[in-house]
Chain A
Amino acid sequence: MIVELDLRGEVCPYTFVKTKLKLEELESGEELNVILDHAPAVDNVPRSLKNEGHKILEIEQNGDHLWKVKILKA
């Protein structure tokens, strides 16, 4: 099951903080999709997640200011 977290309206660093809190609720190997509309977060969130060992599966752009980051929990 893919879990989705809608972070539209959130800015850094809360985009990462909330992604991290959601990941802590998941099991290793589960997938989390995060929806972002804050452009800097599209770079920052994946970078911070990689630092913590998680895997970025894909960053999908769905409009001018809309992205979906697909994460595999470590």
Chain B
Amino acid sequence: MLGGFSEEQIKRYSRHIILPEVGGKGQKKLLSSRVLCIGAGGLGAPIIEYLAAAGVGTLGIIDDDTVDLSNLQRQIIHGGNVGIHKVESARQFINNLNPDIEVRTYVERLNANNVVDIFKEYDIVVDGSDNFATRYLVNDACVLTDTPLSHGSIYRFEGQVTTIIPHKGPCYRCIFEHAPPPGMVPSCQEAGVLGVLPGIIGVIQATEVVKYLLGIGELLVGRLIYYDALNMVFDEIKIRWNKNCPVCGTEPKITSIQEEIYGESCRIW
């Protein structure tokens, strides 16, 4: 045991330990960190893959879905697991990749009643959800519980990603106060998605999580990356804290998580 690492861990994490910005101390921080991944689908799969490989000690995964053959066009970790719960499939993947990781699975949907209790157990939340109701619920709960959040979302060939540190930068509602009306934005099931797209966005989210846990580099706080795969363009959009934001503004209208706010459309009034 050198620096509290087993021989196997020294080998496994050697490429991290060599980095001056990480070292043994940084790797220990990762091993003692707790990250919650919302969803184990398109975004969740690559997020889980890289966070587990990086040695994030506790990975919580919430998803109530089962693996479908149509998922395997992009959700690499679920290969061979059609029909089983995604969280269980993810657990198998993680156990094979890195036995250091404690996996906590939640076979349920995130909702107004469970969100605060679950978030309390984690240092940072990564949103890999595929619908507006969950996205706004996650944002609001992160702001209200002061939990950092990595946001990512994808559509056909485009994706966006930003990092939210509540009260230190803008939140998702500062940018998009309300969800679009139901039916205006088709789901990925209806719209299609390029299989590699969630890999890119999810891995950027995982990068932000690792940086946050290590306390290194510049996070995507107050910045949103917009990625266009067709034209292979990354744009950076500066975003500002909105003093009229319904959840993190000076006079917030949302001060607790109330179920009726998070209907399909996520309109709050």
Measuring CB to CB, which residues of chain A are less than 8 angstroms from any residue of chain B?
13-14, 16-18, 20-22, 24-25, 48, 51-52
* CB-CB nearest in chain A for B17: A17
Residues of B within 8 A of A22 (CB): 2-3
* CB within 8 Å of A: which B1-41 residues: 2-3, 5, 10-11, 14, 17-18, 20, 23-25
Decide if the interface of chain A is mainly helix, strand, loop or mixed. helix
* CB-CB nearest in chain A for B15: A13
* CB-CB nearest in chain A for B11: A14
Please judge, given known A-B contacts A13-B18, A17-B18, A51-B20, whether A24 and B10 are in contact too, CB under 8 Å: no
Measuring CB to CB, which residues of chain B are less than 8 angstroms from any residue of chain A?
2-3, 5, 10-11, 14, 17-18, 20, 23-25
Residues of A within 8 A of B25 (CB): 24
Residues of B within 8 A of A48 (CB): 18
* CB-CB nearest in chain A for B25: A24
Please judge, given known A-B contacts A17-B10, A21-B10, whether A52 and B20 are in contact too, CB under 8 Å: yes
Task: Check A21–B5 contact: CB distance below 8 A.
Answer: yes
Task: Check A24–B20 contact: CB distance below 8 A.
Answer: no
Complex CA–CA separation, A20 to B2 (angstroms): 10
- Other-chain contact of B17, A21, A25, A51 (Cβ < 8 Å): A21
The 8 closest A-B pairs by CB, nearest first: A21-B3, A21-B24, A21-B2, A17-B14, A24-B24, A17-B17, A52-B20, A18-B2
Complex CA–CA separation, A43 to B20 (angstroms): 18
Residues of A within 8 A of B11 (CB): 14
Complex CA–CA separation, A37 to B2 (angstroms): 19
For this complex, 10 residue pairs linking A to B, each with C-beta atoms less than 8 Å apart, are: A13-B18, A16-B18, A17-B14, A17-B18, A20-B24, A22-B2, A22-B3, A24-B23, A24-B24, A48-B18
